[in-house]
Amino acid sequence: MASTVSQPARGDTPWHTHTVFNQAPPLEGLDVFSSNLPLVEAVGREGAGWVTERASALGRVVGGDPQQSWGRLANENKPVLHTHDRYGNRIDEVEFHPAWHKLMTLGVEHELHSLPWTSEEPFAHTARAAMYMTAMQAEAGFACPITMTFAVVPALRAQPELAAEWEPLITSTSYDPRSIPASEKGSAIAGMAMTEKQGGSDVRANTTVATPLNGGGAGAEHELVGHKWFCSAPQSDLFLVLAQTEDGLSCFLMPRILPDGSRNAMHIQRLKDKLGNHSNASSEIELHGAWARMVGEPGRGVPTIIEMVGHTRLDCVIGSAAGMRAGVVAATWHAAHRSAFGKTLIDQPLMRNVLADLCLESEATTALAMRLARAYDEAHLDAEAGEDSSDAQLFKRLATAVGKYWTCKRAPNHAFESLECLGGAGYVEETGMPRLYREAPLASIWEGSGNVMSLDVLRALSRSPRSLEVFVAEVEQAAGADARLDAALSKLKAQFADPGTLESRARRVVESMALCLQGSLLVRNGPPAVADAFCASRLGGDGGLEYGTLPAGVDFESIIARSRPQL
């Protein structure tokens, strides 16, 4: 007798409970550069159009395995410290997942660490900023050693013979993680070690001592004894280190592996267990007579290493723009493919307000980062021409501190709001949004927290009072184009009328400077919808304290369309 049991419909199984639908498809195969219209426009506007094709090629690479898996794997498999080998020998090695080395290879081969120092094309800092912003969307952690390798070059040039020895290795386009002398590898990655337990940002409180081995002085050999509370990327080939001498705090170049192949007396005590940035190794180290050579003049350690710090602060701004862009891509892609209450999310009025506000912040940060990168190009040209205090140099010095303070402060809440656009799914690790959120506070803390940067703005104004005139002149290039910007600039000028309370008001002053600069850039260069929304919400008072509080008359659709990814 034939069975009367009904068979499951085609495709069904006995355990089938539902059909998966109303989910955003995987975002794969995206050209991370070309799809970022605000960045593409900024590249041409700031003079680096020659890099567009090259950046697009990188964008296509990053949108593949780097973004889909390398960043995730490098974070899920944190670096591991091995202080000793199986026989008891001290080795101080950090073991990384292969995905980390793939990311490092990507960064080095695409010259994210070296382009301004090797390219003969114009506006190479600006070109590198576009490349760096594109690559960081795969993963932020590997950008730390890439940035320090990039930033060490101008500091090393304070000691020409050391620059001649190390710069060809630092700017090499090959990556080799082996623990052998850099001269044998033909390449080098750089790190830095400034802060100590008792001082933190107050590096003049450092207690690490440098003892001369051959008479002392610039370029001379020393032995370093002490500790560093934060040594970034301890697997690097060389480090710039601050230590005390008879003449005061001085800067030193300290290799990890000595020329004879032996290990320098730099012992890694532990790796930091950090909030985010898990793929990157940050450490505490002790120096037991480590061999090093002085960079720059004795007692001039801070002015020497500040050349490196300034360039790392530039990358904090670029990195914040990269993180915001990643958040915008994830949020708009999800909203365009997810339906609720009868409409796709991107067509819901309140969600459109949130998305447009996130896009607006991302575009303003991108514009600021790229203008700042151009200032580095212009300042470099002026320095080569022998101009020590040109307008470009003054703007670069002041705008770096202003930009780092503001963009890095805006990043964490931007990441949170982007995450929330995905709802409960955004709180789940596999979306990548929690990693983006954990990463966001780092740039604000690294290389100068909010208070340090605000006081640095005041210091720059005190040392070069004309800096404010140069900064205001930049903003005034948009004078008369928007009454709200004009009014905001007038209020900004008035904030300097009471010098006695300026320090306690420093954060508010720096915030106003950043908003005026961003507003000027968008009014001059952005579409009317973007400029109007920014001036209304950030300068005109017609916006709330949270994202998603733009005034009702804003052209949400145009703002979102500029920033959402299209495949």
Does the pLDDT value for residue 342 go beyond 60? yes
Q: What is the pTM of this model?
A: 0.96
pLDDT at 514 over 90: yes
- 12 pLDDT band, cuts 50/70/90, is low
| Confidence label for 506 from pLDDT (cuts 50, 70 and 90) | very high
What one-character DSSP code corresponds to residue 430?
Answer: G
C-alpha to C-alpha distances, 389 to 58, 385, 504, nearest whole angstrom: 36, 11, 28
Full set of structural domains in the chain with CATH = 37-170 (no CATH), 182-300 (2.40.110.20), 303-563 (1.20.140.10)
Choose among 253, 167, 193: nearest CA to 218.
Answer: 253
In angstroms, rounded to a whole number, what is the distance separating the alpha carbons of residues 551 and 543?
Answer: 6
Buried b (16+ CB within 10 A) or exposed e, 45-70: bbbbebbbebbbebbbbbbeebbbeb
Could you list the beta-strand ranges (E) of 296-390: 339-340, 343-344
Rounded to an integer, what is the distance from CA 88 to the centroid of its chain?
39
Within 10 Å of residue 320's Cβ, how many Cβ atoms?
33
Q: Is the pLDDT of residue 490 over 80?
A: yes
DSSP per-residue letters across 431-466: GSHHHHHHHTTHHHHTTS-HHHHHHHHHHHHHH-TH
Amino acid at 483: A
- 76-89: b (≥16 Cβ within 10 Å) or e: ebbbebeeeeeeee
Q: Are 133 and 318 in contact (CB under 8 A)?
A: yes
For 284, how many CA atoms within 13 A lie in the half-sphere containing its CB?
10
The pLDDT of residue 359? 98
Rounded mean pLDDT of 490-517?
A: 97
Q: Which of 230, 105, 143 is nearest to 439 (CA)?
A: 143
pLDDT class of 497 with cuts at 50, 70, 90: very high
Give the pLDDT score at 566.
Answer: 84
- The whole-number pLDDT of residue 388 equals 82
> What angle separates helix 483-494 from helix 506-525, to the nearest 10 degrees?
150
Q: Does the pLDDT value for residue 2 go beyond 70?
A: no
Query: In the prediction, which pLDDT does 93 show?
Result: 97
Looking at residues 123-149, what average pLDDT do you find?
98
In this prediction, residues 193-203 reach a mean pLDDT of: 93
In the predicted structure, residue 215 carries a pLDDT above the cut 80? yes
CA-wise closest residue to 81 among 62, 96, 102, 98: 96
Render pLDDT for 88-103 as a digit per residue (tens, 0 to 9): 999 999 999 999 999 9
Of 89-98, 379-388, 470-479, 554-563, least confident by mean pLDDT is 379-388
Give dist(CA 191, CA 149) in Å, integer. 7
Residue 22's pLDDT band (cuts 50, 70, 90) = very high
Question: What percent of the chain is predicted at pLDDT more than 70?
Answer: 98
Tokens for 50, please give them: 């020659």
Classified as helix, coil or strand, 286 is: strand
Q: With a cut of 80, say whether residue 299 has pLDDT above it.
A: yes
Average pLDDT for 75-92: 97
